Amino acid sequence: MTDTSVSTQHHATFEGLRQVDEDGNEYWMARQLAGVLDYSQYRHFLPVIERAKEACLLSGQPVDDHMEDVLTMVTIGSGAKRSVDDIRLSRYACYLIVQNGDPSKPVIANGQTYFAIQTRRQELADDANFSRLSEDEKRLAIRNELAAHNKYLAAAAKGAGVDTPMDYAIFQDHGYRGLYGGLSAKDIHARKGLKKSQKILDHMGSTELAANLFRATQAEEKLRRDKVKGAQQANRVHHDVGRAVRKTIDDLGGTMPEDLPTPDESIQQLESAQKKRLKGKKP
């Protein structure tokens, strides 16, 4: 069987386990997911769930919104049924679980792809108006999201041993070098023709910001998932994640981030203009 057909089979299996309650909310059951992910016994799957709960907390999400303890009925040897502990999982919870699984197992690797794609689709569906936003509105939305995720990335880096402001600057520079084909933050700053006080993230279009958001979120998750220790190892991880994002852009035929145009207005100018418009609308 080819890698593509295995991937398709796994994706169909994950979709087949999906259930929908009477309110239209989708969910998966932990015991079923454990079997599909090749855990021979449910008790071996529980530590993965605990790591996912920790990741959920660190991402600022209420665990109870994504992982709910329930009872389900299972058939025992005599054909009778009895209730057992189970967990009702949201799509985001499944995503965190497979991110904490063993990527060397094909079903885990395919699960990571499936739930990452499906979670992103759900995020877009939750904001149906996003595609109708102007470029400036998209820039503001993604920049705000990136600001929040950079805080999570900083916390993950600190947990890995990136302690001082200088250490963090070096850590960030490694991420940029990976994503921008070797260009440092200083190089990107100069390429955009910015003043010393201006921040490069405030002078990016929505596509460039989105690439950096993906870099930040994936680097944070990998630092936590792999329990990275030591500033040098954290730097290496950030560089590798940035390079992987760059390769994805290249594989999709996209424009490299350093070749994307720099907007005429900064994020601060857009925010100022937005405040003026909102102020003008007040009665």
With cut-offs at 50, 70 and 90, classify the pLDDT of residue 108.
confident
pLDDT value of residue 124: 58
pLDDT tens for residues 48-89?
899 889 888 877 778 999 999 999 877 776 677 888 999 999
CB 19 within 8 A of CB 68: no
Q: Give kind and range of the element (H or E) at residue 72.
A: strand 67-75
Cβ neighbours of 86 (radius 10 Å): 19
C-alpha closest to that of 36 among 54, 55, 51, 15: 15
pLDDT tens for residues 196-246?
999 999 999 999 999 999 999 899 889 988 899 999 999 999 999 999 999
CB 43 within 8 A of CB 32: no
What does the CA dihedral 126, 130, 131, 136 come to, rounded to 10 degrees? Answer: -170
Most confident of 1-10, 125-134, 170-179: 170-179
DSSP SS3 for 110: helix
Residue 7 has pLDDT above 50, yes or no: no
pLDDT value of residue 215: 92
Q: What is the mean pLDDT of residues 37-45?
A: 88
Q: Structure pTM?
A: 0.57
pLDDT value of residue 1: 38
pLDDT value of residue 192: 95
pLDDT value of residue 265: 93
Q: What is the mean pLDDT of residues 9-20?
A: 73
Q: Tokens 């792809």 correspond to what residue?
A: 113
Question: Which range among 58-62, 134-138, 249-253 shows the weakest confidence by mean pLDDT?
Answer: 58-62
pLDDT > 70: what percent of the chain? Answer: 82
With cut-offs at 50, 70 and 90, classify the pLDDT of residue 126.
low
pLDDT tens for residues 255-279?
999 999 999 999 999 988 888 877 7
pLDDT > 90: what percent of the chain? Answer: 42
Residue 248 has pLDDT above 80, yes or no: yes
pLDDT value of residue 68: 94
Average pLDDT, the chain: 84
pLDDT value of residue 57: 82
Question: Which range among 98-102, 170-174, 259-263 shows the weakest confidence by mean pLDDT?
Answer: 98-102
pLDDT value of residue 77: 66
